[in-house]
A and B are shown apart, each in its own frame.
Chain A
Amino acid sequence: MKPSRFTYHAPTDLDEVLDLLAKYGDEAKVLAGGQSLIPMLNFRLLAPAHLIDINRVSELRNYLLDDSGLNVGALVRHRELETSPEVELAYPILHEGLTNIAHVQIRNRGTVCGSLAHADSAAELPSIMVALDASMNVRSQSSQRSVRAEEFFRFHLTSDLDSSELLVSVDIPALGTGTVGVFDEITRRKGDFALVGAAVLGTWDSGGKIQDCRIVCSGVAPTPLRLREAEQFVSGTDLSDDVLVGVQQLVMESLEPTEDIHTSAEYRKKVTGVIVRRGLARLTDQRRAIHV
């Protein structure tokens, strides 16, 4: 389990990264935290001719939290964001998702953007980003674009990035008053990828109804899966027990999840309904906490 030969590049500024990507394209891989890429190199599942290590590009190292939202640069590690009290306060759902990723030693290296670029369908962050309606800031030598999270994830391990592009940062809009969200998942062991996971987000209005609910699942489809029917079913309600039972039923009946070595489609079908219900129930607890 030793990697194949490659040429290692350690650019120190963004333009240099983009030039290298333009030059080597398909032959190259971006190395961020390396927590997904290096295992694949060690198993020789991948053998890129060029490795472009972005870890020395200081302009990618920061995150910025302000009134408009949170911008997370390509080199911000899971652990860094997870341990930021401001981020936890502003986006409890993101904090919760981060703490569910692997273990501290992995989170010390793994990056938020790397997880998004990697686009593992059972990962936590992609679903959370769809729920938060985040946008991906993507650049190449010749272009710059912003892609909404919902359009970014194409398939299991495939994002919208082409081989010359870098995910420079992700923008997460600020949450309005009354907006609450949780992330819940079922894993074999603590720290594992999700058998099923759900990011659930909504906004309590002054009348005690939940609005604009977003329910996005990990692990059940090749990409984060928005359960639009379920979202409609619960939006505008008070999330009473009847609504919760109803939405669970709806999910259990309508979902057609994938099956893989980790678990069966049948399991995912049944349990997704359960965690969606449980997630929504926690939104009610959070409402109490924020006194809406």
Chain B
Amino acid sequence: MTRTSDIGVMDKTRNIGIAMTRREDERLLTGGGRFLDDLPFGDFYEAAILRSNYPHARILAVNTDAAKRLNGVIAVFTANELGPILKDLPPKVVHPKLNYQVRLAIAKEYVRYIGEPIAVVVAENRYIAEDALELIEVDYEPLGSVGSTAEALKVGAPLVHVGSETNVAVHIIQQAGDPEAALKTAPHVLSETFEVTRGGGHSIEGRAVAARFDEVTRQLIVWDNTQAPHYVRQMLATIYEVGEDEIRLIAPADIGGGFGPKAQFYGEEVLIPWIAMEIKHAVKWIEDRWENFVSATMERSQTHRVEVGFDEDGHLLVLKDVFEHDQGAYCVGLQVPTITMSTLPGPYVIPNIHSELIACYTNIVPTSSLRGAGRPQAVVAMERMMDRIAEHLGIEASEVRRRNLIQPDQFPYAVGLTFRDGSPLTYDSGNYPELLDGVLSRIDLKAFRGEQAAARKTGKFLGLGLAMFVEGTGIGPYEGARVRLTNRGRVLVSLAASPQGQGYETVYAQVAADALGCDIGLVEVRHGDTSFIPYGQGTFASRITATVGPAVWEASGELRADIISVAASLLKTDVGGLDLRGDAVEVVGDPEKRVTLADIASIANVGRHGMSVPRDLPVAIERTSYFKPTQAVYSSGISAVIVSVDVETGKIEIIRSILGHDCGNVLNPLLVEGQILGGHAHGIGNAIYEEAKYSRDGQPQAVSYLDYALPTAMEVPTPELFHVISPSPLNPLGVKGSGEGGTIPLPASVANAVEDALRPFGARICELPLTPQRVLAAVYGLPKLES
């Protein structure tokens, strides 16, 4: 599958590029995982949270007396008791024009979505805590509410934030060239409206926070299964008004999936540690699935109105996209819609672009990044139109794409827009024609069209759909690694970011071992604890490989230099003739002359009490490196699916799925492919199954897995994967991110395939996911069905 020989980073590579199995697996396979609720916390109390029953209401009174009197209840807190921490939880990504609305950890006067915290019960165990929730009386004054951007933007719609003038959170336009003029002069213009529905992250482990104030060290210790431990610590330090060192934040070694929602910052993360300090007793809160449905951030709901102008040959002249983005009740960050804006043009040369965002507040749990983060929607808007162009001109959709692709010699390619990291949207490297060719070499188009025509005669409807994308990954500001030679003569790599199944313990040992030129068995990786390394940002936006990777590489390289120079000094030789072999440094060609790493540590790190060391001897062999990317690095990919559609029932079967992916050099093919395969399943979920439904006024309709359909092994076919490798010139490893590429194109490619299958019916697929009901409505040409 992967051509290992092509992905070498340096001559000495021994581990990078190898499909090494994971170090994490043994503990996870034997029930020895260290997930937050599996940790032996002992006598921690357990918290449960009373959440709003109303999508929008004023809270007139909260009576917790009966709850407090229940045997086994330790304490009950509402906003009244939590004054000092009723501070704004600021959005991750903002914009000067944002209609900014304060988000609090716990509702004070208003609740604005079902699921918003109102009270916290602490009890001896979760069972009792939940009993107490039932004893809390809340006096609500229900207010008007909106359950979609369409509702939110209606004239006279109820306002999500009483006192604000509008439900619009932000209205931003980005342009390249002169799109209005180009639309007027383009020989052909097509337009369409596409809707993508809300879906959730659905990590199988929910969110979780535990905290204890350690009276001995006077430090607050917080365990949090977050993707971004340092970010959470920083937020807590700000809100609690303490120094960052007064809080130690630990993301447990094992986290049961993240996918974005666990990279956000939530009220519960403020409440639980604070309450632990207030009651002077350790507390934990484990989110259950119902809470996850109503309180973990989600994504995807956008409505795109797209226009494309093109010439007779299908060359794109102009793209205009105006889209509504559902921000939810508060702005947790504008990263998602701003990513959508800049993902639109994808791999194509488009001289004129108009990308316009209208982000709206709604009475639903806030949205934020979720695997794909705004990209699947942009790809729907763009790639669905590529197929429409092909249909309009009567040429193959693959051909229309081929004619518009940015060519390999055009890099770096400036699109003319700005990316979400604030840098100009400039693609660093890629080979988009090779991706397309990769698909076309696997699907015989002519044969397929023949088969499709023949099948139609027998009442079987086959369709082919493509979708391509370019994905900004590896964003800033920085990420770090600390590498240390330990007293046992081993190398300890400490990372700030916490993994959720990506295999950091394995892959960064590979990188460190190669940079050190040592046996990988000597390297150990740990992560996710603010006491290991002072600063970090976290795991999100497929940024770790391209930021931590280079940081580990650099720090390990420097550590090697230090180790060799200590050895040179001890062996009284010069560094040139030395190399690391096993657990020692040897004189090349004279293995008798050697000094072990443990001895090096003992001399350079442990030292001898009060004794001076030679001037040129490095001491305290420890290196920390923060890699600071100058801009995002751009991965890319293509999805091709062949579907069979039952036009009588609306059921879709995916017969073939092909994924081509380019994330530059591949550090560990097993892990990269794992990321892509998992993303692919998520993409199929978004394309066909997953739908977080809400009523018009914002009541969640799907709050169990009987109503929200996650794909199982029966629904997800094994895709055929291929890699294209365009190393990034922007980091020393030539890597780019791969965490989301499997997800991003699937909604668009499946929709294209279904529309292709239904071409004889002139069916129009404009809403996702493609439930049987939507497919059938398209077959019959029924107007949009409201549920």
Contacts and interface: CB of A to CB of B under 8 A. Distances in A.
Nearest to A268: B773
A2 B648 contact: no
B650 A189 contact: no
B617 interface: no
B461 to A, nearest CB: 15
B29 interface: no
Interface stretch (A161-169, A207-215, A257-265): A257-265
Given A261-B693, A261-B702, A44 B776 contact: no
A267 B772 contact: yes
Contacts of A191: 712, 714
A189 B289 contact: no
Given A2-B127, A261-B787, A267 B773 contact: yes
B290 A43 contact: yes
Nearest to A260: B787
A266 interface: yes
A183 interface: no
A186 B289 contact: no
A19 to B, nearest CB: 29
A194 B715 CA distance: 16
Nearest to B648: A274
B776 A1 contact: no
A259 B786 CA distance: 11
Nearest to A273: B648
A189 B782 CA distance: 24
Interface stretch (B369-377, B520-528, B587-595, B703-711): B703-711
B771 interface: yes
B180 interface: no
A264 B649 contact: no
A192 B709 contact: yes
Contacts of B290: 1, 43
B712 A263 contact: no
Interface string A183-195: 0001011111101
B707 A261 contact: yes
Contact of B131 (A4, A186, A188): A4
B288 interface: yes
A270 interface: yes
A145 interface: no
A259 to B, nearest CB: 8
Interface string B411-447: 0000000000000000000000000000000000000
B785 A266 contact: yes
A193 B712 CA distance: 15
A140 B777 CA distance: 49
Given A1-B288, A186-B651, A263 B771 contact: yes
A193 B776 contact: no
B704 A186 contact: no
Contacts of A264: 773, 785, 787
Contacts of B650: 267, 271
Contacts of B711: 189
Contacts of B712: 189-191
A228 interface: no
A23 interface: no
Given A186-B772, A188-B772, A44 B134 contact: yes
Interface in B686-717: 689, 693, 701-702, 704, 706-707, 709, 711-712, 714-715
Contacts of B288: 1
Given A192-B709, A263-B772, A43 B130 contact: no
Given A261-B701, A263-B771, A271-B776, A2 B126 contact: yes
Interface size class of A (residues with CB under 8 A): 20 to 34
A261 B691 CA distance: 10
Nearest to B127: A2
Interface size class of B (residues with CB under 8 A): 20 to 34
Name the residue in A1, A188, A259, A263 with the highest tally of chain B Cβ atoms < 10 Å from its Cβ: A188
Contacts of A1: 130, 288-290
A188 B709 contact: yes
Interface string A243-275: 000000000000000010111101100110011
Contacts of B709: 188-189, 192
A56 interface: no
Contacts of B693: 261
Name the residue in A43, A191, A263, A275 with the highest tally of chain B Cβ atoms < 10 Å from its Cβ: A263
A270 B702 contact: no
Interface in B665-689: 689
Interface string A124-141: 000000000000000000
A39 B706 CA distance: 11
Nearest to B709: A188
A195 B772 contact: yes
Contacts of B772: 186, 188, 195, 263, 267, 271
A237 B279 CA distance: 78
A191 B702 CA distance: 18
Contacts of A192: 706, 709
A1 to B, nearest CB: 4
A259 B693 CA distance: 14
Contacts of B776: 267, 270-271
Contacts of B127: 2-3
B780 interface: yes
Interface string B747-787: 00000000000000000000000011100110010100101
A79 B202 CA distance: 29
Contacts of A39: 704
Interface string A176-220: 000000000010111111010000000000000000000000000
B595 to A, nearest CB: 58
Given A44-B130, A261-B702, A267-B776, A188 B771 contact: yes
A120 to B, nearest CB: 10
A190 B689 CA distance: 12
A5 B771 contact: no
B126 A186 contact: no
A273 to B, nearest CB: 9
Interface string A79-121: 0000000000000000000000000000000000000000000
Contact of B130 (A2, A263, A274): A2
5 contacts: A2-B130, A189-B712, A261-B787, A267-B650, A267-B776
Which 7 A-B residue pairs are closest in the complex by CB-CB distance? A1-B288, A267-B773, A274-B648, A190-B714, A2-B127, A261-B701, A188-B709
Interface of A: 1-5, 39, 43-44, 186, 188-193, 195, 259, 261-264, 266-267, 270-271, 274-275
Given A189-B712, A263-B773, A274-B648, 20 more contacts: A2-B126, A2-B130, A4-B130, A4-B131, A43-B290, A186-B649, A186-B651, A188-B689, A188-B709, A188-B772, A190-B715, A191-B712, A192-B709, A259-B787, A262-B707, A263-B771, A270-B648, A271-B648, A271-B649, A271-B772
